[in-house]
Amino acid sequence: METTLERGERVVVRKLHPDDLTRVIALDAKILGRERAKFFESVLQRNLRETGVQVSLAAELDGIFVGYLLARAWYGEFGTMEPYAALESFGVHPDFQKQGVGRALLEQLVTNLNGLGLKLLRTEVDWNDLELIAFFHRAGFKPSQRLCLDLAWPQHDPRTKLSPR
């Protein structure tokens, strides 16, 4: 799985391996400015247990880890009837952004999802992350007809109750 980047270099997209965990955590922390080790540990453990229904990929350039994505197949969850894949996490090293690494990861993901018989990929993006929204727009993503809802409450408050209607 190789793709030629805009600079003429070749990026190798491969399956994410268990020994990639520390690289994924470090790259994600570099991008976000905070570490999410527990999230990635649980996602990668789940992916190893459920081989065949998730798709997680790594991108390398000259043997250097430059990007990753974690995705998962869903078959009718959250009240939907159609199967789809969820892109749970996605990252490209800042030094290699806007050079085709992310596109190569997404193209390989779509190829793999086609092999699983899936035709829809969903993800969530922070409303203020305009660069990532623009990237997904260029890749062909459109706003969903589904609405993501949040419920927040103060932690450790024994008086916490849901708001009345």
pLDDT tens, residue by residue, 43-67 = 877 776 665 545 899 999 989 999 9
- In this prediction the pTM is 0.80
* Token couple for 23: 């690289």
Higher-pLDDT residue of 52 and 154 is 154
Question: Which domain CATH number covers 58?
Answer: 3.40.630.30
* Token couple for 123: 């993800």
Per DSSP, the residues of 5-30 read -TTS-EEEEEE--GGGHHHHHHHHHH
pLDDT tens, residue by residue, 102-149 = 999 999 999 999 988 899 999 999 999 999 999 999 999 999 988 888
Domain that holds residue 47: 2-139
pLDDT tens, residue by residue, 60-88 = 998 999 999 999 887 766 565 678 888 99
pLDDT at 6 over 60: no
Number of structural domains (the chain) is: 1
